[in-house]
Amino acid sequence: MTDTPNTAAPTIVDSHCHLDFPDFNGELPDIIARAHAAGVARMVTICTKLKNEPAVRAIAEANPSVFYAAGTHPMSVATEPMASVDQLVALAQHPKFVGIGESGLDYHYTAESGAIQRDSLRIHITAARETKLPLIIHARDADDDMAEILADEYRKGEYTCVMHCFSSSAELGRAALDLGFYLSMSGIAAFPKSGDLRDIFATAPLDRILLETDSPYLAPPPHRGRRNEPAYTAHTAKVGAEVFGLSLPEFATATTANFDRLFWKAKTI
């Protein structure tokens, strides 16, 4: 394995993946090497249950190009201990811990736990505000509540945020952008039938766009339907460049600068 990105490919960042998931068991050195070969210089691996934080942290510690974030996923808040602000702030002291979350609201699969999801989200926002680290948001079928909570909390004090794997309505996208937040483009944006989503991205400021895989999920074409991995960020980047009418190197440079601005602790290697 090499921990040196491919300098011939445009440098990009996978701002959201799940390298601790069992889909990658025994393959991490090869997964990371393929990412580097595709020009993916850095990756942020996301811990979705705080009990798994030590394992996720270990991946980041063992790989110079990997950083991590942690929080309680909204689909897990009913079955996991509620995170505390103090707990999240303490985790954020680690030099490779670069974001709070993912947190958010999911009313598609777990609407019955909506009340506790909303409580958890506000805890994560408070931690993001206190640490000045970006909040990483998961939003599914909860646009109205999400927009209301993000704005209500912003009035209490500024914080930064990325709408991870953004595939919600144009209204929620605009509400997030109006607060100064970022939208992250995943493989969903590359699906043939995602024209409406690409149109939403096309109306967003270029300096608010990030790239991600959400791997092992949501592989873009030509890998759709198979396991996703950080290297495939390159496929989404090509689609993003087309959406914004830019060359791939131009889009790669812009989204990498956006990542550096938002995820300020993930220093360039």
Q: What is the pLDDT of residue 172?
A: 97
Give the range of the structural domain holding residue 102, as residue numbers without chain letter.
12-262
> Which pLDDT value is given to residue 2?
46
Which residue, among 78, 70, 34, has the nearest Cα to 51 in the 3D structure?
70
**Residue 268 located in a structural domain:** no
Is 267 part of any domain?
A: no
- For residue 208, the domain's CATH number is 3.20.20.140
pLDDT at position 80: 96
Number of residues assigned to the chain: 269
Whether 1 maps to a domain, the answer reads: no
Q: C-alpha angle with apex 169: 165 to 174, nearest 5 degrees?
A: 90
User: In the structure encoding, which two tokens stand for residue 179, read together?
Assistant: 């607060």
Q: What is the model's pLDDT at position 154?
A: 98
How much is the pLDDT for 233? 98
Mean pLDDT by 10 residues, the chain (269 residues): 60 97 96 97 98 98 97 97 97 97 97 98 98 98 98 98 97 98 97 96 98 97 95 97 97 98 85
Number of domains in the chain: 1
The answer to the question of residue 23 being in a domain is yes
Asked if residue 6 belongs to a domain, the reply is no
Examine residue 4 and state whether it is found in any structural domain, yes or no. no
State pTM to two decimals. 0.94
